[in-house]
Amino acid sequence: MTFLEQSFASLERSGDAVVLQELRDGQVVPLTARQLLAQVQVARAYLRRLRLKKGDRCALLAHNSMQWVAMDLAVMAEGLTVVPLYARQAPAELVAMMKDCWPSVIACGEQSLADAIVEAWPESPPYFCFENVFTAGRGPVENPVLTVAEEDVATIIYTSGTSGEAKGVMLNAGNVGYMLGCTSGRLDQLMKKRPGQDAVFHYLPLCFAGAWVMMLTCLLRGSKLTLNTDLGKIATEMRLAAPDYFLNVPALLERMRKAVDEQLWKTGGFPLKVYTKAKGAWVRRQEGKSRVGDGVWLGLASRLVFPTIRKKMIGGKLRALICGSAPLSVETQLFFMMLGIPVLQVYGLTETTAICTMDDPDAPVIPGRSGPAISGVEMRIAENAEIVVRGPNIFPGYWSRPEETAKALRDGWFHTGDQGEVDASGTWKIVGRIKNLIILGSGHNIAPEPIEDKILHELPGAVQVVLVGNARGYLAALVTGKVSGEKTQAALDLVNPGLPHYKQVRAFHLVEETFTIESGLLTANGKLKRDLIAERFRNEIDAIYEGSKNQAAKTA
């Protein structure tokens, strides 16, 4: 059975159990498995009236919703290839992706998204909005048999490359089915095969590979998946959902940790004293430097402070946080461990069907590492400490890019572009990237060169602009040459409005001396040695992120 057949069979078994729900203005809007299947049938009937052919692409441009899930399932069930797009991305970038794969139709969550595409691309393929499908209520579909084979391309997910041009990663039904078996198996371990539904909270865009795999895993398991539809209400809705676990990016966990520290500083008094003493004791314990009395403070905090933090932050049921998309800082992982909340890390790329490694819930978690390779997947270190992978999770290739596919897939191995190391137990650590791609803590992949060029164009007198921000919350820049802070900010004010929010440069540091071959910061042919620059200016970069709320420029 393909993953779609398995998922639909699971939904049939779930019947009147709620499998999806949205939180809107504090109110729960539920959808049972039976209702979801009915919505899928309505969407399939609508798609058939468009007379699309098997293998045609259908772009899916919408914010997270239960209707997004229904439409996604319907597109794949009809033998079409779904192309999920990020609704907050700039229209010009979305158009470039669609021109690459040329969908036969565009499914839009709302009219404003469709209008933005048509304005940027007057010759765009036809589109329809969700309200045209689900409010009409036509259906059910005739002959709802699934005709999807393991080798059929189920989705094309676009991911940025070092050139800045997005590439369409094709994932077939076999890739997805294998991965869902692996993720469900890990969750069985976490939940100890407990009878009943898992409660799962979800806020990440469903168009991202990892988020999509989590959603499909929940459907396969018959879980109750609560979708956040307002990023400004994540904290409140997280507690209302009372999840057993949920998928995260490092940026949110970092904010949660800092929010706890800030709140306790405001509270003061005995709780702050116990918390501060316990934090110091916890760090010393991890370093093997415990002092007399540390156990007392940790014991007090475990009884009086930590349970309150857990309840206010997440609720009482949480078994674990799952974190991926970028490396999580050891400090943040240790913070949650101190509170008694395991953080299970995963590592992977879109090309690996989102996952290569996963922390084992039954094994000790090693902070800073992302667990062993999943079952059936081989990983090894190649030239330049590059991680290469092979297995049933590896994508068949990039859409319409045979040369790029040949570079990435060599002798059966996928070359990740990531540098890593593995210990004797097979647990992996991601050290850095061979490519220049910046991965924010939110999981967004950003090619720095096009943005750097735009800033240089608007900033006469600047010699070099180097973006930084790996595993951080936003982009910042090092700027060399004889330029002032005011002019640099003015250049950013010109460039930023034309970029999506995650590509905007929010802080900078001025460096009077330019980077040269002689200083060791340029290669022989004049290219930036980004890793060395980041190391040389580590303190200045740290200072940007620690004290740049007002985007104050600091001159070297």
Closest CA to 179 of 140, 156, 209: 209
Comparing 164 with 536, the larger pLDDT belongs to 536
Torsion from C-alpha of 315, 319, 323, 327, nearest 10 degrees: 110
Which tens digits make up the pLDDT trace of 303-351? Answer: 999 998 988 888 778 999 999 987 788 888 999 999 999 999 999 999 9
pLDDT over threshold 80, residue 118: yes
- CATH T-level topology, domain 447-555: GMP Synthetase; Chain A, domain 3 (3.30.300)
Predicted pLDDT of residue 372: 96
Tell me which of 1.20.58.340, 3.90.1150.10, 3.40.50.12780, 3.30.470.10 is the CATH number of domain 270-316+319-433.
3.40.50.12780
Look up the pTM and report it.
0.83
Which tens digits make up the pLDDT trace of 145-168? Answer: 787 899 999 999 998 643 357 899
Residue 218's contacts (CB-CB under 8 Å, 6 or more residues apart) are: 19, 198, 200, 202, 225
Comparing 276 with 385, the larger pLDDT belongs to 276
pLDDT over threshold 90, residue 465: yes
What is the rounded CA–CA span in Å between residue 30 and residue 33?
A: 10
Region 171-200: what's the mean pLDDT?
94
| Residue whose token pair is 């806020």 | 203
pLDDT over threshold 80, residue 432: no
Predicted pLDDT of residue 554: 42
What is the rounded CA–CA span in Å between residue 109 and residue 60?
A: 8
Predicted pLDDT of residue 136: 66
Q: Which residues pair with 505 in a beta bridge?
A: 475
Closest CA to 420 of 486, 371, 377, 468: 371
3-state secondary structure of 94: helix
Q: Name the band, by pLDDT with cuts 50, 70 and 90, for residue 526.
A: low
Predicted pLDDT of residue 139: 65
Predicted pLDDT of residue 56: 97
Q: Name the band, by pLDDT with cuts 50, 70 and 90, for residue 549.
A: very low
Tokens read off for 161: 């490359």
Pairing mode of beta strands 475-481, 462-468: antiparallel
Q: Name the band, by pLDDT with cuts 50, 70 and 90, for residue 138.
A: low
Q: Which residues of 229-262 are buried (b: 16+ CB within 10 A; e: fewer)?
A: beeebeeebbbbbebbbbbbbbbbbbebbeebee
What percentage of the chain carries pLDDT values higher than 70? 96
Predicted pLDDT of residue 184: 96
Q: Read off the amino acid at residue 287.
A: E
Q: Read off the amino acid at residue 429.
A: K
| Residue whose token pair is 């007090």 | 300
Q: Name the band, by pLDDT with cuts 50, 70 and 90, for residue 524.
A: very low
**CATH 3.40.50.12780-classified regions of the chain:** 3-236, 270-316+319-433
3-state secondary structure of 274: helix
Q: Give 452-455 contacts, CB < 8 A, sequence gap 24+.
A: 452/477, 454/495, 454/498, 455/479, 455/491, 455/492, 455/495, 455/505
Distance from the first to the final alpha carbon of the chain: 62
Tokens read off for 378: 């081989």
Which tens digits make up the pLDDT trace of 367-424? Answer: 889 999 999 999 999 987 899 999 999 999 999 999 999 999 999 999 998 888 999 9
Q: What is the mean pLDDT of the chain?
A: 91
Q: Read off the amino acid at residue 69.
A: V
What percentage of the chain carries pLDDT values higher than 90? 70
Predicted pLDDT of residue 457: 82
Predicted pLDDT of residue 27: 85
Region 98-110: what's the mean pLDDT?
97
Q: Which residues pair with 129 in a beta bridge?
A: 108
**CATH 3.30.300.30-classified regions of the chain:** 447-555
Q: Are 166 and 146 in contact (CB under 8 A)?
A: no
* Sequence-ordered strand ranges (E) for 89-162: 105-108, 127-129, 153-159
pLDDT over threshold 80, residue 241: yes
Q: Are 202 and 223 in contact (CB under 8 A)?
A: no
Predicted pLDDT of residue 81: 98
Q: Name the band, by pLDDT with cuts 50, 70 and 90, for residue 548.
A: low
Residues 3-236, CATH architecture? 3-Layer(aba) Sandwich (3.40)
Predicted pLDDT of residue 19: 98
pLDDT over threshold 80, residue 182: yes
Length of the chain: 556
Q: How far is CA 292 from the centre of its chain?
A: 42
What is the rounded CA–CA span in Å between residue 378 and residue 393?
A: 10
Q: Are 109 and 63 in contact (CB under 8 A)?
A: yes
